[in-house]
Amino acid sequence: TTPLYVPFESLIFLISSVTIGLIIGDIVYLTAQERIGVSYAFPIANIYPITTYVIAIFLVGETIIISRFVGVIIAVLGVTLISKEQANKNEEQEMKKFDALGIGLAFVTAICWSLGSVLLQIGVTDIDPLDANFVRMFFGGAIMIPLFLTATKQGMSKPTMRATKIIILAGFFGTTLATLLYTYVVKLIGASVAALLGSTSPLFAIPISIMILKESFSKRSLLGVLLTVSGVALVVLAI
């Protein structure tokens, strides 16, 4: 209902956020996952709500609230428990030896995701989240085109028609709709709280996997759920 309005300064922050957070961050994460496995890479990378809070303190003047910081740590521990438990069920491969580079890349992933969220908060401050998301998706997609073409030339096989349909459906819900909603959340409540709430996806994956995939629910997963809910409550209430 309103004209597209994105000042040049906001444009720089938005392009930087999608480049660092989605492009570089995800590529680094996939490299780390390949080296050390999902059950190690995902929990390590999932500390990004903590690093987001710390970066936000320095870049956007986020208020230091002890209970909120404690809540972030508790919630991250809960998500890590859930994630590791789920990953152990789906992955037989374990890290056979200490891989410093793989672990380091997982930590770099957390930094990239955090910096991308904070830059998004700065970029979306004075504009409509819909306009901001359009810019991020447009440039994010544009950056992926040469990467895709290069990989294809190097022998990467193209996905099947069935896989393409699944990817399109997953992309709509997991990237298009989710990223749009995340942009609104960052504008309304800030990057640090948004990062924490966004990281709780394993919390919702558990009941879905139980109902649809008939997976079991362990005591460790239950503890992870309790820790996550408690941590989120502390962050949101910020007593």
What is the distance between the alpha carbons of residues 228 and 45, in angstroms, rounded to a whole number? 16
C-beta pairs of 27-35 under 8 Å, 24+ apart in sequence: 28/105, 28/108, 28/109, 28/112, 29/105, 29/106, 29/109, 31/102, 31/105, 32/102, 32/103, 32/105, 32/106, 32/108, 32/109, 35/99, 35/101, 35/102, 35/105
Phi, psi of 173, rounded to the nearest 5 degrees: -80, -45
The label of the residue with tokens 């995902």 reads 42
Higher pLDDT pick, 95 / 33: 33
Confidence (pLDDT) at 98:
66
Q: What is the pLDDT of residues 96-148, one digit of tens each?
A: 566 789 889 988 999 999 999 999 999 999 899 999 999 998 998 898 889 88
Q: What is the pLDDT of residues 39-70, one digit of tens each?
A: 778 778 888 888 898 899 999 988 888 888 88
What average pLDDT does this structure show over 25-41?
Answer: 86
The Cα-based distances of 58 to 4, 51, 109, 183, 213 in angstroms read 30, 11, 19, 21, 43
Q: What is the pLDDT of residues 147-195, one digit of tens each?
A: 888 988 898 888 899 999 998 998 898 888 988 999 999 999 899 888 8
- The crossing angle, in degrees rounded to 10, of helices 219-237 and 191-198 is 160
Indicate if the pLDDT at residue 81 is higher than 80.
no
